[in-house]
Structure 1
């Protein structure tokens, strides 16, 4: 049946957009306030005790301030940042602590003994001078180890990489606490015993530690101990590109919370008959990308990124938009395709930025129509339907619940940036939905909130916390047999962690991680996939059948939750499109205040859903249709909607994805051929292109044309971006 989409809705929704909700000023946690107050109070008491003078009070205040400093750097690292904003960083606090001890000694000592403390004061000042010298050399060492290219799954041993210096030498706060502790302890002991030798011994030990640390760092600056320089690294990178000859890549720039957007395209990319590459822009993201055998390069600076222009790279796919995307789009020798990280009926799925790409790859006809109706500048000829290759992991519908419990997955999305109340159901309907589900004794609830829930609107975060407490409370009132601890699950967890997590020592920097994260073991990706499937089976088997679950960790994945769920309740988001691959019933919460008929017309993904109101009054009837399929009147519509959203079942999505890569790669090669045959033009003079004298040899899928291999095959930056 046809599923209408309202052109009018796009304009109305755009007019309804508001500024993001402003988060009210956050109140510090009680523990933070108490700790900061205790530290400030300790210094006040120490000052009073030094001027009084009062030895027991001075000793107690000094001990408290040292203990609180240790607590701050171990458990409350945000408090030192607050002090630093007030220009009371660790150096100032440590100098003040020792200065008050010296004042106390002078007040306690006799007049003729003041000269005995002069050498101690000089030694103390030398300790602080060495601290500044260590910090300066540490910065120099860090700069020599900050390479213009960061890699993973690539043998970078030729860059003379080495383990990082001890973390203590690179962290000024920790270093000053440790190196200065003997001096502070010695001064305190002198205040108690009136023996200057205690202070001399403590200061001497601090000087030895500081000198040893400075020497350790200075050795790192010797020519033979430093990693390769910038030009040497860039030459190595160019040589690696020429040897590896990548053909298709994934470009990603973003934050930690958005890493899943890149992760969902790793497996489809790895399954291509090509030489894939992952291109990142943020250094910290290199270690955040999930386990993969694909080579990963991070190119933070634009000039380094532009070296891809002269590589064999033909196609870059983009799972998300970012401010840095415009930089890579300037490379004319590469064709760019926007693949998105999921499709929904929200305006964000029809972002006008998409017209900057050469092509927009969507799952099915619905997305094509969505772009046409949104009228954001994306031409229909540039839209390519490839399906969703990731959904091969979703198992199809196998009938009504077979056990004693109906498993319901509630997976709401987050509140979004525009403040639209219809974005997420967590605020207006979440608690009602969960309460109605928990009231049914035959329901097992899986609650999987979006990772960004509460990041814009504090009400969403508060509702999420209340929902979790409701689920914990419901579990306390339930009872039933609990499976014995699974040794198999523990073993599989350890195996999966071993395969997916690189073993870094504490304090490893990026250069050391490059050395550790060399080429992966052959077949590791396949081993990870097998271990993940086995882990998921063991995980669900280890849980009591009756117990509700809050799923917030990376494992089990969303698709694993799809496979055990009998019903999905969600919002208008890409979760619906992905869940439709299973053919199972689903429901959507309407919290935007729209009439149901208008709601269905505005959001095509809702056409085959049960629409729930914020009061969750329709939950009992919904559960009845899940348990008795003969009452399910939307099964046929789900089948039609699945084809419309995700495209046909044949050919498979992975095949359509590969075909799109080959076609766009061929367009990139054709552009290079035409550009390489175009002679230079003088200012104000037009010349016709010189035709090729020799016809190029046909290029096999996934391979690279011979002329694209040489470094001179690139096109000047000013060349047109389309063939």
Structure 2
């Protein structure tokens, strides 16, 4: 695991600040208590001695911190040292003068405490005042030094370690996701980026994702805040990939307009994130097929045709095609609903109806194996948690017809469920389009009660069997899909519309277009689709 110097600074900085603040608070409390304590000269002597010891703690920790930073920087950056004008190390002359003044004042207080109580008290007050000046000076200086040192250290780490170790990285993957507990967007694309055979590294904006990724890949991972982003990209980098529309992306896009900024997204669906106007800020949009390009135009998000590149969905390489024979006596159904979105135009989730839908499928006259996997975001919503409790009970119920229910958690790869399933039940989401690659039948929920005209805005639905609002017709449609399957021809047409690389091996177009863009030789011929004409 490669260690980022930025992390060392963050880890070491907190104890120093706490020790200084703690010592300062204790001294202030002693000072406030002094007038109310009936102390003899001997006790005042002990009091002054204790104050000296307390005051020395933050001074010592400050020196030790600076020394630690010097050692850590040398060990991480090799023989290269950060220039003095970037981040000076050690105490300034003013700091040293304050330390001497504090020491002299305390020594004077000790001597005076043996002679005159009043003079000792004045000396003690003076020494504490000088210490406060020293502490305030160093706290502010720590903050200033920390900003410069982190920037310089990250730059040193990047150029001295990442660039040298990787023979000059050619691209980076930028990831920010405050609402995710795991870096799933990165993991989705990581195997295909690594397969390019070109040196790169990953930039994360949240510390929780740094440690999660570092344990899963040998690719270097750097934690960076917005002001540091320009520093962590060496001149050899030409391209940055992204997998979501996070606000954190803008700092890098605006800070480095000279680079190619490629939006991959973390799924292709008919939901608003897949036709967001935010997409306009990227240099290129990688899409699975012409369905994705149509989607922008249909929603009046006008993007020049040359910004699109049809590359398919590399992830579908692991999806097995539909069997030519019919399912066995027990039909296997995978049910993967989306999560309850934040906005009305994204509320496609059938989660509140899921228990009823599952119960209907499992209570029929044929045995059905139901594999249910909720969206990871569903665990964060209190209402969703209640629905999940009902779903667990329905899945675990014993059935006289031999039906079986399974609840799959985050660790289960959806593609494994696609491969085991004969039929999919899902909402309007990227799950439908990924499953569509298999050619197997799928059922689409309709919790918003869209009519036929409204459903035209969601072309991925057109190749599936449509449930009613509460899923009352679920079992009927499962039987139909597993038997005669009258939607097959339309489903295969929808599949061709969704995937523009069906005449290529999965990931072939993605690899070719990615390398061409990174190396600066992309001709833009992956798609000549004119989005403007669609909009008109």
TM-score (norm 1): 0.51
1:405 corresponds in structure 2 to: 330
Q: Write out per-residue CA displacement over residues 100-144 of structure 1, whole angstroms, 9 at most, x where no aligned residue.
A: xxxxxxxxxxxxxxx9xx99xx99xx89x9799699959986996
Q: Residue 408 of structure 2: which of 517, 526, 551 is its match? A: 551
**What is the 5 A alignment of 1:105-116?**
none
Q: Write out per-residue CA displacement over residues 624-683 of structure 1, whole angstroms, 9 at most, x where no aligned residue.
A: 12432xx1011122211111112232222422112221332244899xxxxxxxxxxxxx
Residue 246 in 1 paired to residue 169 in 2?
A: yes
Could you tell me how far 1:464 is from its partner in structure 2? 2.1
Residue 466 in 1 paired to residue 394 in 2?
A: no
C-alpha distance in structure 2 between counterparts of 1:470 and 1:277, whole Å? 45
Residue 567 in 1 paired to residue 492 in 2?
A: no
Residue 639 in 1 paired to residue 522 in 2?
A: no
**What is the 5 A alignment of 1:306-455?**
306-308=230-232, 310-330=234-254, 331-399=256-324, 402-420=327-345, 422-427=347-352, 429-440=353-364, 441-453=366-378, 455=380
Of structures 1 and 2, the one with the larger relative CO (CA 8 A, separation 6+) is 1
Could you tell me how far 1:558 is from its partner in structure 2? 0.7
Q: Which runs of 5+ in 1 are unaligned?
A: 1-90, 96-114, 150-154, 161-227, 481-545, 671-723
Could you tell me how far 1:573 is from its partner in structure 2? 0.3
Q: Secondary structure at the match of 1:316?
A: strand
1:581 corresponds in structure 2 to: 437
C-alpha distance in structure 2 between counterparts of 1:579 and 1:145, whole Å? 52
Q: Secondary structure at the match of 1:395?
A: coil
Q: 1:417 to 1:274 in 2, by over 3 A?
A: same
Q: Residue 279 of structure 1: which of 180, 187, 203 is its match? A: 203
Could you tell me how far 1:422 is from its partner in structure 2? 4.4
Q: Is the 8 A contact 2:369 2:405 kept in 1?
A: yes
2:482 corresponds in structure 1 to: 627
C-alpha distance in structure 1 between counterparts of 2:441 and 2:63, whole Å? 58
Q: Secondary structure at the match of 1:291?
A: coil
1:527 corresponds in structure 2 to: none
Could you tell me how far 1:450 is from its partner in structure 2? 0.5
C-alpha distance in structure 2 between counterparts of 1:143 and 1:570, whole Å? 58
Q: Secondary structure at the match of 2:463?
A: coil
Q: 1:601 to 1:141 in 2, by over 3 A?
A: same
Could you tell me how far 1:386 is from its partner in structure 2? 0.5
Q: Is the 8 A contact 1:412 1:570 kept in 2?
A: yes
C-alpha distance in structure 2 between counterparts of 1:354 and 1:135, whole Å? 52
Q: 1:145 to 1:411 in 2, by over 3 A?
A: farther
Q: 1:547 to 1:334 in 2, by over 3 A?
A: same
Q: Write out per-residue CA displacement over residues 314-345 of structure 1, whole angstroms, 9 at most, x where no aligned residue.
A: 11111012122111113133201111100111
Q: Secondary structure at the match of 1:414?
A: coil
Q: Secondary structure at the match of 1:279?
A: strand
C-alpha distance in structure 2 between counterparts of 1:669 and 1:421, whole Å? 35
Q: 1:569 to 1:138 in 2, by over 3 A?
A: farther
Q: Secondary structure at the match of 1:337?
A: strand
Q: 1:459 to 1:377 in 2, by over 3 A?
A: same
Q: Write out per-residue CA displacement over residues 425-461 of structure 1, whole angstroms, 9 at most, x where no aligned residue.
A: 112x2222111122135111111011111645x4333
Residue 659 in 1 paired to residue 509 in 2?
A: no
Name which of structure 1's ranges 639-648 and 566-575 shifts more when overlaid on structure 2.
Answer: 639-648
Q: Write out per-residue CA displacement over residues 545-575 of structure 1, whole angstroms, 9 at most, x where no aligned residue.
A: x642111131x21111111111110100000
Q: Is the 8 A contact 1:409 1:562 kept in 2?
A: yes
Q: 1:560 to 1:141 in 2, by over 3 A?
A: farther
Q: Is the 8 A contact 2:516 2:522 kept in 1?
A: no
Could you tell me how far 1:229 is from its partner in structure 2? 7.9
C-alpha distance in structure 1 between counterparts of 2:289 and 2:522, whole Å? 27
Residue 614 in 1 paired to residue 469 in 2?
A: yes
Q: Secondary structure at the match of 1:397?
A: coil
- Cα RMSD (Å): 3.9
Q: 1:660 to 1:468 in 2, by over 3 A?
A: same
Q: Write out per-residue CA displacement over residues 188-235 of structure 1, whole angstroms, 9 at most, x where no aligned residue.
A: xxxxxxxxxxxxxxxxxxxxxxxxxxxxxxxxxxxxxxxx98645532
1:79 corresponds in structure 2 to: none
**What is the 5 A alignment of 1:478-517?**
none
Q: Which runs of 5+ in 2 are unaligned?
A: 1-21, 27-38, 81-148, 524-536
Q: 1:648 to 1:668 in 2, by over 3 A?
A: closer
